[in-house]
């Protein structure tokens, strides 16, 4: 199998796994544990609770969809972003970037499904240290999106880009030194 195709298939599998983990965790918290109404809290650790909330906006509650039209506009915009991320993932050559984009895609799909079906995104993970909350209440999809963005940014700032010829040589199994000696 072509190594580039294999990396992209792994990316699709990672995106699907994150989507599935996000949907399962939301189901488990709301259905099995019964944390399903605004104000419901299940205390787990001194720094982590399950606290049900409905997010009608996007990241950090921005751009709240408070009408039928704005809800569907938000679904459309986030779906367009997911499409752009998908295209980017399929064009990317570096596995680290494919992995980061797959995490963003899987998380986006999980949140899009919620917004499409419910009109809001179900959030439940509450990380806190006393009264200090470094994040708003979030879910698996949000965490995956955040980690994916950090991976993409870290690779953009700290990883040296290889030119296309060197990447092609590496994918064909040639050592990096062979490309320099030609």
| pLDDT per position as a tens digit, 84-113 | 999 999 999 889 999 999 999 999 999 999
- Does residue 142 have an active-site annotation? yes
Pick the catalytic residue from 97, 123, 126, 169: 123
Domain range list for the chain? 3-173
Enter the pTM of the model: 0.81
Pick the catalytic residue from 22, 114, 126, 142: 142
Q: Which residues contact 38 (CB under 8 A, 6 or more apart)?
A: 52, 53, 54
Lowest mean pLDDT among 74-78, 149-153, 163-167: 163-167
- Residue 55 DSSP class: E
Give the pLDDT band of residue 168 (cuts 50, 70, 90): low
Give the pLDDT band of residue 9 (cuts 50, 70, 90): very high
């Amino acid at each position: 199998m072509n190594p580039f195709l294999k990396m992209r298939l792994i990316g699709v599998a990672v995106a699907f796994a994150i989507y599935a983990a996000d949907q399962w965790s939301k189901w488990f918290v709301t259905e099995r544990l019964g944390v399903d109404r605004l104000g419901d809290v299940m205390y787990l650790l001194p720094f982590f609770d399950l606290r049900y909330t409905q997010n009608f906006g996007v990241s950090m509650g921005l751009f709240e969809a408070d009408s039928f039209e704005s809800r569907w506009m938000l679904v459309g915009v986030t779906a367009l972003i997911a499409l752009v991320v998908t295209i980017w993932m399929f064009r990317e050559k570096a596995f680290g970037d494919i992995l980061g984009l797959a995490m963003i895609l899987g998380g986006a799909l999980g949140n899009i499904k919620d917004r499409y079906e419910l009109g809001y995104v179900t959030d439940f993970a509450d990380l806190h240290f006393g009264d200090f909350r470094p994040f708003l209440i979030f879910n698996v999809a949000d965490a995956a999106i955040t980690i994916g963005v950090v991976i993409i940014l870290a690779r953009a700032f700290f990883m040296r880009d290889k030119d296309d010829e060197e990447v092609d040589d590496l994918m064909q199994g040639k050592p990096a030194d062979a490309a320099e000696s030609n």
